Amino acid sequence: MGGAAAPVKVEEERDSSTSDFAWKVVLFNCECHTFDEVERQLIKATHCGLGRARELAWEVHSKGLAIVYHGPQERCEAVAAVLEDIRLVVKVTQ
């Protein structure tokens, strides 16, 4: 009984709980909105506090873009829609 053992194929399981939250909302900088407008819309869209909204608005302003929300695809699309209400430029992506 000297034969080599056949290789065992192991399949990786995908954790659906983490892949559900693999979506994100990216907010891009534009010069057509004030910081106050962006902060108010971020609070409305993501339910974050004013401090977090200010951090995100500053990141968008200084870096040109920021990931402002992570979550399931449907929730990210809802957040993006609220941000787009005032014509902010956003992208929902994985």
**Structural domain span for residue 78:** 31-93
Kindly report the pTM of this predicted structure. 0.77
**1 belongs to a structural domain:** no
**79 belongs to a structural domain:** yes
**17 belongs to a structural domain:** no
- Number of folded domains that form the chain: 1
- Could you give the dihedral angle defined by the CA atoms of residues 93, 44, 74 and 12, in that order, rounded to the nearest 10 degrees? 60
**15 belongs to a structural domain:** no
pLDDT tens digits, one per residue of 36-83: 999 999 999 999 999 999 999 999 999 999 999 999 999 999 999 999
